[in-house]
Amino acid sequence: MAGAGNAVETLLVEEDVARDGVTELEQGARDSTDEMRHYLSSKFASLQDEIHKEITSRDVLLRKLEESVTRLSEDIAPLKDYVTAKMQEEAHSASSQSSGSPEGGASQDGDQETEEERNKRVQNRCVDVMMSLTEIRMNNEEKTQKVRGFNERIYKTSPLTLPLLC
């Protein structure tokens, strides 16, 4: 009866196989895989849409920022010309005053302006002009000092901002 037992085992295995040679377990795994693939595909597509929208909105914001900076540069150009002219005017008047000094135009040690002092003077002049163009509503000393500090920080931000401001 050893032969009969083998036949029973073979029949149980054959009953477990579907018509196409795939077991129900394998078919279930395939179905689960297909569902997972469909789910991940739809999630990926929605993520792609979201990223596309974000990139598009970022591009729009960058374009608007570029336009604003260009307009600001154009608005500040006359201010720069004004400050430059005033600085040249002061430098010219300072050189004509020093030429009348007793040493034939050589300035005395106490009259020499260091580079740091000159930079501070130029910064103050530029910030003064920016303040003159600023309207502060319900103005008080505290607000004025805040705006002045803000303008000073803008001035000091980077050498690239200086041509825009002065």
Domain ranges of the chain: 8-76, 115-166
Kindly report, residue by residue over 70-113, the tens digit of the pLDDT: 888 888 888 888 888 888 877 777 666 655 544 444 444 555 77
Give the integer Cα–Cα distance in Å for 108 and 112. 7
* Alpha-carbon torsion (97, 100, 101, 103), positive or negative: positive
- Are 76 and 165 in contact by the 8 Å Cβ rule? The answer is yes
pTM: 0.34
pLDDT of 36 above 70:
yes
The secondary structure of 118-137 as a DSSP string is HHHHHHHHHHHHHHHT---T
- Are 95 and 111 in contact by the 8 Å Cβ rule? The answer is no
- DSSP-derived 3-state class of residue 160: coil
Looking at per-residue confidence, does 101 or 132 come out higher? 132
Residue that has been written with the tokens 């020093």 in this structure: 98
Distances (CA, A) of 86 to 13, 74, 122: 100, 19, 10
Kindly report, residue by residue over 52-66, the tens digit of the pLDDT: 888 888 888 888 889
